[in-house]
């Protein structure tokens, strides 16, 4: 069953990859038991999937944790897939911010990273909702 939902996730990702003109990217999809940075036992985007990018080489790894069934209101698998593809769409910019933070004073890095992560998630979620609301088929 988990396999089936992972395949469904990849299928939606590939559909959104085409819509967002991300054809030049090399994307690897991995099913995982747990998302490292995700809050434990919550079913938010950040605990269901994560995307790592190297924008300079157009490489991305998308990890997906199959959500448990029947607990609260999960985002749909298509929402999660669209969300992760938007992360890739913005990767040139977000990777730049991450490298700028690496050059910041060490005492500032943790706070800058936290603020960037929050701003990035809000922006990606906002764009994902607009895209999902306007999708056809
Ligand atoms: Zn996200």
| 42 Cα to the center of ligand 1, angstroms | 14
| Cβ atoms 46, 37 nearer than 8 A | yes
* Residue 71 lies in domain: 2-134
Q: Which two tokens stand for residue 61?
A: 């790894």
| 83 Cα to the center of ligand 1, angstroms | 6
| Cβ atoms 53, 84 nearer than 8 A | no
| 80 Cα to the center of ligand 1, angstroms | 8
The pLDDT tens digits along the chain (137 residues) read 568 999 999 999 999 999 999 999 999 999 998 776 655 555 566 678 999 999 999 999 999 988 776 656 678 899 999 999 999 999 999 999 999 999 999 999 999 999 999 999 999 999 999 999 998 75
Residue 91 CA neighbour count, 13 Å, CB half = 24
| 70 Cα to the center of ligand 1, angstroms | 22
| 101 Cα to the center of ligand 1, angstroms | 19
pTM score of the predicted model:
0.88
3-state SS assignment for residue 53: strand
Q: Structural domain tally of the chain? A: 1
Q: Which of 57, 52, 63, 64 is nearest to 26 (CA)?
A: 57
């Amino acid at each position: 069953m988990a396999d089936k939902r992972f395949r469904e996730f990849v299928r939606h990702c590939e559909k959104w990859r085409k819509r967002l003109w991300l054809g030049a990217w090399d994307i690897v999809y991995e099913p995982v038991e747990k998302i490292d940075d995700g809050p434990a036992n919550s079913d938010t985007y950040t605990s269901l999937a994560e995307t790592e990018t190297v924008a300079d080489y157009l490489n991305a790894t998308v990890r997906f944790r199959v959500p448990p069934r029947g607990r609260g209101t999960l985002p749909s698998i298509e929402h999660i897939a669209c969300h992760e593809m938007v992360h890739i769409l913005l990767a040139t910019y977000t990777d730049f911010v991450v490298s700028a933070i690496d050059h910041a004073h060490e005492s500032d890095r943790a706070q800058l990273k936290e603020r960037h992560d929050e701003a990035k998630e809000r922006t990606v979620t906002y764009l994902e909702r607009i895209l999902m609301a306007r999708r056809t088929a």
